[in-house]
Structure 1
Amino acid sequence: MQSTQATPEDKMELSAVTVSSRIPDFWRDQPRLWFVQCEAILGPQKLSDEARYNLVVTKLGKEVVEQVSDILLKPPESGKFEALKTRLMTVYEESEMRQFQKLLSEMELGDQKPSQLLRRMRDLARDKIPDETLKIMWQSHLPSSVRAVLAVSDVQVLDKLAAIADKVMETSRPIQISEVQASPSTSSNGDHAFILAEIAKLTMKINDMERNRNQSRNFNNNRNRWRSRSTSRGRNQSRRTPDSPNWLCFYHHKFRGRAKKCVDPCSWKNDDHRQEN
């Protein structure tokens, strides 16, 4: 009996079927993650652009196909896979503003673990919010008993805090279910807005106080300099001419009451000068 060997075309077709079975249907709510998984599966296969394009098309539902119908009916001559990917990402990927809105007002713990909620919030934040800010936002969605444990913890790494929160939730699940509110984000957002407003007011007051203090200090410094110049001018004017009734000799002009010598004419013996000293 003669055995038949599979042709290269048969092997390629079998490979395409195997790869296709490993790719899930397109995720409209997570197109970026879907393409990450899809390309991870397609990468090692070294398939042509046409084959990759056709595999993606087979994973699209009716509503999705309607969004890319022009590309399917008249695909570009080259770069078909990238053209299809770009269109799907444009249609189904949420804008950064929309993701930020969800991060602020649509996050709830629900039945998730704290670590799962954190991963979802990080996915929405996309590295544009620092961990310190994200930690405050994340903890605002946790039950008070969990927040109390995290508050006294010396752990600072956010992922490790999430692991601690998971363990606390596991040991006190019945109590925490009753504490989780339906929409904690509304009140927390209001509190955050109020706190930010109060901080802004305090900052303005501090700036005004600092500005007034600097102005007062400058005024006093200027007044002291003016007095010093006035006193100096008065002393210098007393030596303009020897005929002046307030003329002082060199020694008393320079050393005042500490002078050891006196040269006439000199009015130091005048009571006004001695009282001035």
Structure 2
Amino acid sequence: MATNAVAIKLPEFWESSAAAWFSTVEAQFEIRKITDDKTRYYYVVAALGSSVASRLVGLLTDPPEEDKYATLKALLLKTFELSTAERARRLFAIQGLGDSKPSVLMEKMLNLLGREKPCFLFMELFLRNMPTRVQVALANTTITEPRALAEEADRFFLATQRPSPDLLAPTISAPPPVYRTAARDNYMPPDQRGATAGLCFYHSRFGTKAKQCRSPCNFNPAGNGKAGAR
């Protein structure tokens, strides 16, 4: 079969998730109707970084006559995918939600599960990593589909989340600032303006002709009592 002359650009190979990378690549092959074995093989080779290619020198320098793509795919998966024991260790090493939601944790666990089918132990391991309040709410659940269980856990998790203490603290408004002006600080009643020290306004202004006196006043004309005593 002739090589398909279709130009596509594949993302560089994902060392940390080889199976997911091949799912993405094969979706592009399907969309572009690329079925030729040799074409698929060379597209994948072109997407390998130097660190990956250096680990596949034997195959890349001497590929088989047939099934090039399938052989390369199998070798990449074997080289970069976690073993069953490694995936199990990582699943058991998970400790709680961290700062994520239950559904995010479920996706992480399903990725580690790989092509294995989730069993009741997997579901129990997921529930054990939930907060206590979510575990109690789902203790008698009959949900067996992993993502459906995660969605239900999300619902209880979000409904029972405690607000931040900062949000619960009452808001106390600061009193408005008091602005003082020089005119206010220096205010003097009209009847005291212009008074001489020791004399009231009336004696300061009118002297002996003053008809009124306001205490305190030290006015004391000769021969008379204190004017303020009137």
Whether contact under 8 Å (1:155, 1:161) holds in the other structure is no
Residue 154 of structure 2 is matched in structure 1 by 166
Q: Secondary structure at the match of 1:34?
A: helix
% of aligned pairs identical? 29
State the shift of 1:113 in Å. Answer: 2.2
Residue 150 of structure 1 is matched in structure 2 by 138
Residue 215 of structure 1 is matched in structure 2 by none
Q: Gaps spanning 5+ residues in structure 1: where?
A: 1-7, 177-277
Q: Gaps spanning 5+ residues in structure 2: where?
A: 165-230
Change (3 A) 1:168 1:79: same
Alignment partner of 2:110 out of 114, 122, 125: 122
Residue 74 of structure 1 is matched in structure 2 by 62
What is the CA–CA distance in structure 2 between the aligned matches of 1:47 and 1:157, rounded to whole Å?
A: 37
Q: Are 1:99 and 2:87 an aligned pair?
A: yes
Q: Are 1:43 and 2:27 an aligned pair?
A: no
Whether contact under 8 Å (2:13, 2:47) holds in the other structure is yes
State the shift of 1:41 in Å. Answer: 1.6
Whether contact under 8 Å (2:94, 2:129) holds in the other structure is no
Higher helix share: 1
Q: Secondary structure at the match of 1:42?
A: helix
Larger Rg: 2
TM-score w.r.t. the length of structure 1 is 0.50
> Structure 1, residues 126-167: CA drift from partner, whole Å, max 9, x if none?
44552x32222111111122222223x654334433212112
Letter in 1 for 2:60: L
State the shift of 1:106 in Å. Answer: 3.6
State the shift of 1:56 in Å. Answer: 0.6
What is the CA–CA distance in structure 2 between the aligned matches of 1:85 and 1:49, rounded to whole Å?
A: 12
TM-score w.r.t. the length of structure 2 is 0.60
Backbone CA RMSD of aligned residues: 2.8
Q: Single out whichever of 37-46 and 47-56 deviates more from structure 2.
A: 37-46
Matches within 5 A, 1:77-92: 77-92=65-80
Q: Secondary structure at the match of 1:24?
A: coil
Q: Secondary structure at the match of 2:65?
A: coil
Change (3 A) 1:111 1:59: farther
Whether contact under 8 Å (1:118, 1:162) holds in the other structure is yes
Q: Are 1:33 and 2:20 an aligned pair?
A: yes
Letter in 2 for 1:30: S
Whether contact under 8 Å (2:12, 2:48) holds in the other structure is yes
What is the CA–CA distance in structure 2 between the aligned matches of 1:163 and 1:156, rounded to whole Å?
A: 10
Change (3 A) 1:83 1:135: closer
Residue 58 of structure 1 is matched in structure 2 by 46
Change (3 A) 1:29 1:174: farther
Alignment partner of 1:138 out of 107, 126, 135: 126
Whether contact under 8 Å (2:102, 2:150) holds in the other structure is yes
> Structure 1, residues 54-107: CA drift from partner, whole Å, max 9, x if none?
111121111111111222222222222122112111110111111111111245
